[in-house]
């Protein structure tokens, strides 16, 4: 993980850290455990978090920052090569038409992962008592 250096390297490193943390929280579980809503009354699952964050990445990196018209599936890493100041436009919802930079998208995705990794901590602990990662 980068602690010093270029801004882009640090931002991408933090995002990679949070991606890896979610992967660790899911590691070693059976399919049924990944689909288990373990912290009732919420119906949230670890698999649901993985799907949500994959869709968030698709939306922010491909639709907004990349300006592509893509279906809701896994895709390419299209933030590569785009400057941090490069603007994209939010496509829908209450912020439709608002311009955002690649920097903003990276920071937003770091926030999304950090928030949902906290949820993943609770789910994993409820499933088998494992904490950390």
Task: Tell me if 86 is assigned to some domain.
Answer: yes
Domain ranges, residue 49? 7-128
Rounded Cα gap, residues 30 and 55, in angstroms: 22
| Residue 133 belongs to some domain of the structure | no
User: Could you tell me what percent of the chain has a pLDDT over 90?
Assistant: 60
* pLDDT score of 74: 45
Q: Does 93 reside within a domain?
A: yes
Given the structure tokens 């920071």, which residue do they identify? Answer: 107
What is the rounded distance in angstroms from the CA atom of residue 97 to the CA atom of residue 41? 36
Q: Does residue 1 form part of some domain?
A: no
Judged by phi (left if over 0) then psi (alpha if -120 to 50, else beta), residue 89 lies in beta
Per-residue pLDDT tens over the stretch 91-131: 888 988 899 999 999 999 999 999 999 999 999 999 999 98
| Res 93: pLDDT | 85
Q: What is the number of structural domains in the chain?
A: 1
Q: How many C-beta atoms lie closer than 10 Å to residue 23's C-beta?
A: 12
């Amino acid at each position: 993980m980068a602690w010093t250096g270029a801004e882009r390297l640090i931002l991408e490193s933090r995002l990679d850290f949070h991606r890896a943390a979610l992967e660790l929280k899911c590691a070693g579980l059976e399919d049924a455990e990944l689909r288990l809503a373990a912290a009732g009354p919420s119906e949230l699952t670890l698999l649901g978090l993985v799907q949500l964050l994959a869709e968030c990445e698709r939306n922010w990196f491909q639709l907004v920052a990349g300006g592509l018209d893509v279906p809701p599936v896994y895709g390419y890493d299209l933030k590569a090569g785009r400057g941090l100041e490069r603007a994209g436009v939010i496509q829908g919802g209450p912020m439709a038409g608002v311009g955002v930079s690649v920097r903003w998208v990276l920071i937003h995705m770091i926030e999304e992962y950090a928030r949902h990794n906290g949820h993943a901590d609770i789910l994993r602990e409820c499933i088998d008592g494992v904490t950390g990662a």
